[in-house]
Copies of this chain bind each other. A is one copy, B any other.
Amino acid sequence: MTTLINNEKQTTISQDADLVTLINVFIVEPENQQLLVDLLIKATEEVMCKLPGFISANIHKSLDGKRVTNYAQWRSVEDFRGIFNNPEAVAHMPAIGKIAQSDPTLYEICYIKKS
């Protein structure tokens, strides 16, 4: 099926795309979930989206209040690792680390099934 879409506010998951996927699950107390979302949006808007190789960030709030997950796309592993050498990016991390534990993991996509 071929579809005409406006893709400004849509992210595409594709096996053919030349990128690396970061799935970062944050464990958080429900009373801090919205604050964590706000901190991640602030970090993305102020720094991450301006770094070389940034493709997308997609912030997900769990329905049970206990998780926030960032599904993010970077051009390469090296571009992703560059975050940790950028003082402006690193400056956002303590406030996030104070209220959440995270498990940043890099992935490749191996299978897609659509309905």
Contacts and interface: CB of A to CB of B under 8 A. Distances in A.
Q: Is the interface of A mostly helix, strand, loop or mixed?
A: strand
Interface stretch (A5-13, A84-92, A93-101): A5-13
Interface residues of A, number: 55
- Please tell me how many copies of the chain the complex holds: 2
A112 to B, nearest CB: 5
Nearest to A57: B113
A40 to B, nearest CB: 8
Interface of A: 1-16, 20-21, 23, 25, 37, 40-41, 44-45, 48-49, 54-64, 66-67, 69, 71, 77, 103, 105-115
Given A55-B114, A112-B57, A67 B13 contact: no
